[in-house]
């Protein structure tokens, strides 16, 4: 299966046009060193991808790291390839150890640090990484609007936010004529549907906010490499393997295998295609530590599931 992430199948996020797979940058500077990261980024772009997701906090959880490692790798790649205008860069604010929360001052300091690491003068899509309920929505939205007006940010988005606060934020932007969230990054996949479906998805649908799901492959579980009789060790194996202990996890694996076999596709491709076909979803996020892991992800752009296949996966994951 050859990926075709052409302009014809791109999605729109405000003024941005993005490919159907967003490449997750959490592995850059963590499980993938700079050389491996460059190879993955080169292959992703060569396959037609243009939408890269990172955060200022990646990967502060690694001993010896302090946050910003992923942005630094990405910035070095952008500089060496000279392709800044060809890619859509998304990063996030609010979780870096030095810039926690969403006060106006924190946002304005954090964005400059991100820009320096990314070696660019603008960020295409800037997320509030986690909602900060100690700050009124008006404060952080006004700060974000200032960044848009200054040309440092093109569009804004939210991640890890409640339906109520998302509604409140959109209403404030509309009332005050400020930049509004064009996208939402929820935790959403075949084995975690209630983290998005329901009230949060309803708010997104009502206001035309696009969903860019993270953990799209459930820490690798939905690639199919984790099986009851074949334990796998990796940096994420604990998070993935827990789904093997649930009836739903086993049902989902069986349904993925059925659909994948019918299309001569990988389970990961099927899982991403299901997600991409869900209401409001524009582009799932998935990361690749090696170039060999990319084809199954990029093939998302070529796989259309039938109504019967969608029903099979919906029922297995219910």
Residue range 3-27: mean pLDDT, rounded: 87
Q: Tens digits of per-residue pLDDT, 39-55?
A: 999 999 999 999 999 99
User: CB–CB of 166/200 below 8 Å?
Assistant: yes
Cis status of the peptide bond prior to 59, with omega within 30 of 0: yes
Distance in angstroms (rounded) separating the CA atoms of residues 108 and 102: 10
Confidence label for 9 from pLDDT (cuts 50, 70 and 90): confident
What's the Rg (C-alpha) of the chain?
19
- Within 14-109, strands assigned E span 16-18, 22-24, 51-53, 88-93, 95-96, 99-100
Residue 226 annotated in active site: no
Question: Which listed residue (58, 126, 127, 214) is catalytic?
Answer: 58
Q: Which two tokens stand for residue 43?
A: 């292959």
In this prediction, residue 235 carries a pLDDT of 54
User: CB–CB of 147/174 below 8 Å?
Assistant: no
181-185 and 210-211: which strand pairing? parallel
Count the Cβ atoms, other than its own, within 10 Å of residue 200. Answer: 23
Range among 2-6, 93-97, 224-228 rated most confident: 93-97
Buried b (16+ CB within 10 A) or exposed e, 283-298: bbbbbbbeeebbbbbb
Q: Tens digits of per-residue pLDDT, 133-154?
A: 999 999 999 999 999 999 999 9
- Paired with 128 in beta bridges are 93, 158
- Mean pLDDT rounded to a whole number for the chain: 95
Percentage with pLDDT > 70 across the chain: 95
- Paired with 93 in beta bridges are 128
Q: Tens digits of per-residue pLDDT, 196-228?
A: 999 999 999 999 999 999 999 999 999 999 888
Please provide the size of the chain in residues. Answer: 318
Q: Which of 134, 208, 146, 142 is nearest to 169 (CA)?
A: 142
CA angle 178, 195, 89 (to 5 degrees): 50
Distance in angstroms (rounded) separating the CA atoms of residues 284 and 270: 12
Q: Which domains are seen in the chain, by residue range?
A: 11-185 (3.20.20.100)
Q: What is the layout of strands, in order, in the sheet containing 22-24? A: 210-211, 181-185, 153-159, 123-128, 88-93, 51-53, 22-24, 285-286
Distance in angstroms (rounded) separating the CA atoms of residues 187 and 211: 10
Confidence label for 236 from pLDDT (cuts 50, 70 and 90): low
């Amino acid at each position: 299966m050859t990926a075709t992430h052409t302009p014809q199948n791109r999605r729109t996020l405000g003024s941005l046009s993005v490919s159907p797979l967003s490449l997750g940058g959490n592995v850059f500077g963590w499980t993938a060193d700079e050389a491996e990261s460059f190879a993955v980024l080169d292959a992703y772009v060569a396959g037609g991808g243009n939408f890269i997701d990172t955060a200022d906090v990646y990967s502060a959880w690694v001993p010896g790291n302090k946050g910003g490692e992923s942005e630094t790798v990405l910035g070095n790649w952008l500089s060496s390839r000279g392709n800044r205008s060809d890619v859509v860069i998304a990063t996030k604010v609010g979780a870096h150890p030095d810039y926690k929360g969403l006060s106006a001052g924190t946002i304005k300091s954090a964005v400059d640090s991100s820009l320096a690491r990314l070696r660019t003068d603008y960020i295409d899509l800037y997320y509030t990484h986690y909602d900060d309920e100690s700050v009124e929505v008006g404060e952080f939205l006004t700060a974000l609007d200032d960044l848009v007006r200054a040309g440092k940010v093109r569009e804004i988005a939210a991640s890890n936010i409640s339906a109520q606060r998302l509604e409140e934020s959109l209403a404030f932007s509309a009332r005050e004529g400020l930049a509004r969230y064009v996208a939402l990054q929820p935790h959403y996949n075949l084995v975690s549907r209630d983290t998005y479906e329901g009230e949060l998805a309803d708010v997104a649908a009502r206001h035309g906010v696009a969903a860019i799901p993270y953990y799209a492959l459930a820490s690798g579980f939905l690639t199919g490499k984790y099986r009851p009789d074949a334990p796998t060790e990796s940096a994420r194996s604990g998070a993935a393997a827990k789904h093997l202990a649930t009836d739903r996890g086993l049902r989902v694996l069986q349904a993925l295998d059925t659909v994948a076999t019918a299309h001569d596709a990988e389970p990961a491709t099927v899982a991403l295609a299901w997600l991409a076909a869900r209401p409001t979803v524009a582009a799932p996020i998935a990361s690749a530590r090696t170039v060999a892991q990319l084809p199954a992800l990029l093939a998302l752009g070529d796989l259309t599931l039938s109504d019967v296949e969608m029903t099979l996966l919906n029922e297995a994951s219910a």
